[in-house]
Structure 1
Amino acid sequence: MSHDSTPPPEDTAPVEPEAANGPDSDPDGRPRWLEDVFIIVKATVLVYGLFLVFGLAAGLDFNGIVSTLQSVTLLAASFALVVLALNLHWGYTGLFNIGIAGFMAVGAYTMALTTAPTDASFPGLGLPLWVGVIAGTVAAAIVGFVVALPALRLRADYFAIVTLAAAEVIRLVYNSSALREFSVLGVALGTGGGQGMSFPNLRNTVSRWIMYADGDPTAGPTVVGSAFLRVGEVLEVSPSVVEGWVYTLVLVVLVAFVFVVVTRIGNSPFGRVLKAIREDELAARSLGKNTDHVKIKVFMLGCAFMGLAGIVWQGRRGYVDPNLFLPIITFYIFIALIIGGSGSNTGSVVGALLFAGLLFEGPPFVQRIVDATFDLPRPPTAYEGFVALGGLDPMPLLGYAVGELPNLRFVLFGAVLVALMIYRPDGMLGHRNEPASPIDLTKAQPPRTRDAPVADGGADDE
């Protein structure tokens, strides 16, 4: 009996395009990060294009259009920071945190108490702004730790109730007259109670520090500042708008940094534990994972990002009060996450951009444009508009609707959510699959010859 010594033929089966691309590529072979950039850029062009068209149609000058785009970008970047943090909680780990506004308030108020002048009406410690930013971020993480300890004994809806209650407790504490003026170890401090408190304007400080020597406009611009001011002169944009864009670009860079951090966390072994907890915490426990410790860590990290978002969002005003952190802020963030798609960091940024640009800032902008372009009648009630409609005059009803656009946007929020639940329940990008392994397991391996060494199966050498 003879044995065939011919080596077996190599497997020449074609590799499917999706498999050949690997887990970090899209079906067209482009890297996943590049595809993410394309998606964000397309969403930005869409939002900018709509504002540009309406602005030009209304006769706005270039300075007005650039200022409007700066405001929209600033709000979108602020939303994106919080949505990314919420995606870390809800999208990755399944923690239903609806106390977002409270953690934002902790960050903003801690920075205010740290940086407000010692001789102000409601004094602070008078420390530099960078110290206040760090203190606010750390304070939000610590409060997140305190909230997480009792809340982790609960699940799902009960966890959400605890976080919502914690956020309201935080807001009411800052609203309390007992903290309007107080002292700690002989140091006078104050939150202003319901009146709020002032502190150094973060927007002006950051933009002028970048643009001018020693942060003083009279000392002359820096090299970077000269470049920005020169571009502003060429485009005939006012220096105040240029300063606003400098601060906005700093926020965009911050969003990119947080995006990278959250993405790296999601692709790490720690991130795979988070997703295992989201899918089945009991199964994760059965594999020896300390899920309570993992949830505390991720909850603290997400709360730190929320506190940072509260700092950069309200820090641009140089003023903070409890009414800026009502529970509705939390639901704005959830709407943005639902639009983009839970579990997708790119969807978080796109959802924040679409929500801030089209749903939040869009209706008031359209109202201003229509008011400046047309002289529509403004009946005091909708009833009078319907009466005029019976007389074949639609202008009063149209004028009333335009006047109520800032309020009607809340109806628009509901309509968008209903449409998403029906036609796109996973959001814009929530359907994207993420690899479970950081290693490309689909890459074609070179054929192994008969004489090639075989990997040790685990037997101990004697």
Structure 2
Amino acid sequence: MSTGSLQARAEGWLGNNDVRLLIALALAIGGLYALFSVVLGFQLNGTVNTLRRVAFLSAIYAMLALALNLQWGYAGLFNLGAAGFMAIGVYTMGILTAPVTASPPGFGLPLPVAIVGAILVTGIIGGLAALPAIRLRADYLAIVTVAFSEIVRLTLRAPEFANTRIAGVAFGTGGATGLSLPSNPIRILFYTDPATTAPAPNALGAAIFSAVEPLGIEETLVIGWAYVIVLCLCLGLLYCLMIRIGKSPFGRVLKSIREDQQVTQALGKDTRLFKIKTFALGCALMGLIAIFWRLSGGYASPRMFKPIQTFYIFIALFIGGTGSPTGSIVGGALFASLLFEGPSFIRRVVAEYLQLSNAPDTLVSALAELGTLDVTPLLAYSVQDVSISALRLMLLGIVLVYLMQRHPDGLLGHRKAIASSVALSQQATREDDNE
């Protein structure tokens, strides 16, 4: 059997079943990182931690891509302010849960209540922000939303709101130093009192910790993987929700707005109201996903919500293909594992196994050493934090150019759902049969 026929069969087997496709993608990414880690001789604890981080970021960016796909892929709303709405959700949750006696103070509410409150606040602000902006065309809407995102970020880091009092109520954002968040809520599954400095494990925690201790796996890593499993469950629920929305009458109206708003209006649909609802729902989901993200670290800062974060989410969505929920997960996983985390993994490999000396201060100095056929200075310069960030941006640019040339609709963009509940080809067949 030829290689081409094997590839065709594999594509047919994977392409006809979304579950198979996503499982195969997860196994391929995990297997790739595990293979390199084993070949390079990484310790088990480090390998498992690398897989945890890749899985964590893949789940986060997949959920963010799904939320953005609701706005851009379904309704055609070009929201470049995703980072701002993520910040609103995280900071609202942080302020609501911060103790009254803390610095900055908060409202001291339980975490579940604060999360619900943050979702509502983010959704309401998203709906209000959409009121004046929803009349604009896609490019002007993008300008307004990115400006709104920057207003939110600069407001959060402003010293005037670091510790303030409004109408007798004291609260604060922490300013440029950031805001402390509640500890990882998943710790309650493993410890009797996770809020203490040195918590004692409960029965479940003691059993799991003792089982992995001979392998050299730390307790924090077990907790991290438990959090990743919860995130994957949330990703599955969000994926099912997006599928149901896409097939519902509400979702079909959104797709018709995406294709031709004037025709949709002529059919008696209030397109403005549909856009506002979609914008508010998408922003609320972004706020919730950002809460999941930042709760894992227990800290939030305005610098975490720069416009580049929105750009990352769009890249993930473009890779998979707009309009396809499965494409959103595929794009989010590929972006997080290969483009975002991949350069950092390469830096770790180079720095650990080549034993590089001090890096030159400039690229010119690093290139000058090539005249002596010594590539060590260039490698040392390339694996610095600043250089890795530049390398990541270069890879993103290369991927974008490749996608625009070879796959302008993304890897699964051809699977964009149509606005009609029944495919036009099926409608034509039924009409012929009736005749």
Measured in 2, the distance between the counterparts of 1:227 and 1:198 equals 31
Q: Is the 8 A contact 2:83 2:310 kept in 1?
A: yes
3-state SS in 2 of match to 1:165? helix
Deviations 1:119-148 (A, max 9, x none): 111011111111111111111101101101
- Residue 94 of structure 1: aligned partner: 76
Q: In the alignment, is the contact (CA less than 8 A) between 2:255 and 2:419 conserved in 1?
A: no
CA 1:271–1:54 in structure 2 vs 1: closer, same or farther (change >3 Å)? Answer: same
- Aligned-residue CA RMSD (Å): 2.6
Post-superposition shift, 1:438?
4.8
Q: 1: distance between equivalents of 2:404 and 2:13?
A: 31
> What SS does the corresponding residue of 2:415 show, helix, strand or coil?
coil
Residue in 2 aligned with 1:75? 57
Are residue 396 (structure 1) and residue 377 (structure 2) matched?
Answer: yes
Q: Which amino acid aligns with 1:113?
A: I
In the alignment, is residue 237 of structure 1 matched against residue 220 of structure 2? Answer: no
> What's the counterpart of residue 424 of structure 1?
407
> SS of the residue aligned with 2:200?
helix
1:5 equivalent in structure 2: none
Which whole-Å deviations, capped at 9, do the CAs of 1:198-253 have from their partners, x for residues lacking one? 1312x2x2x2223345657526234xx56754663475422110001111111111
Find the residue that maps to 1:251 and give its secondary structure: helix
* 1:249 to 2:232 alignment: no
**Cross-structure match for 1:188:** 170
- Match of 2:118? 136
Q: Which of 113, 138, 160 pairs up with 2:142? A: 160
Quote the residue 2:108 is aligned against: 126
Cα contact 1:342–1:426 (8 A) shared by 2: yes
Paired position in structure 2 for 1:13: none
Is 2:241 the counterpart of 1:261?
yes
- Which whole-Å deviations, capped at 9, do the CAs of 1:150-204 have from their partners, x for residues lacking one? 0112111111111111111111211222211122443321111122121312x2x
Distance 2:247 2:144 in 1: 29
Q: What do the CA deviations read for 1:401-438 (whole angstroms, capped 9, x no partner)? A: 33323431111111111111111111111111535555
Cα deviation, residue 281, structure 1: 0.2
CA distance in 2, matches of 1:77, 1:251: 6
Match of 2:388 in 1: 405
Unmatched runs of 5 consecutive residues or more in structure 1: 1-25, 449-453, 455-462
Moved more, 147-156 or 374-383: 374-383
1:384 aligns with 2:386: no
Q: CA deviation at 1:381?
A: 2.4
Structure 1 residues 172 and 30, CA, compared in 2 at 3 Å: closer, same or farther?
closer
Q: Percent sequence identity over matched residues? A: 46
Instruction: Provide the C-alpha distance between the structure 2 equivalents of 1:252 and 1:129, rounded to a whole number of angstroms.
Output: 20
Once residues 371 and 193 of structure 2 are traced to their aligned partners in structure 1, the CA distance between those partners, rounded to angstroms, is: 66
Distance 1:27 1:53 in 2: 24
- Considering fraction of residues, name the structure with more helix: 2
State the TM-score, normalized to the length of structure 2.
Answer: 0.89
Range with bigger deviation, 75-84 or 276-285 = 75-84
The count of residues paired between Structure 1 and Structure 2 equals 415
Deviation at 1:325, TM superposition (A): 0.7
Q: Match of 1:183, SS?
A: strand
Cα distance in 1 between the residues matched to 2:421 and 2:170:
52
- Structure 1 residue 379, shift from structure 2 partner: 2.9
Q: Corresponding residue for 1:319? A: 299
Q: Which has the larger radius of gyration?
A: 1
The aligned counterpart of 2:318 is 338
- Could you tell me which residue of structure 2 aligns to residue 48 of structure 1? 30
2-side partners of 1:433 and 1:123: how far apart?
47
C-alpha displacement of 1:397: 2.5
1:31/1:267 Cα in 2 relative to 1: closer, same or farther (>3 Å)? Answer: farther
Unaligned runs of 5+ residues in structure 2 are 1-9
* Deviates most, 174-183 or 415-424: 174-183
> Which residue of structure 2 lines up, in the alignment, with residue 198 of structure 1?
180
Does 2:151 correspond to 1:179? no
Q: Tell me how far apart the structure 1 counterparts of residues 375 and 200 of structure 2 sit (CA, whole Å).
A: 55
CA positional deviation for 1:279: 0.5
Show the counterpart of 2:190.
211
AA of the residue aligned to 2:373: L
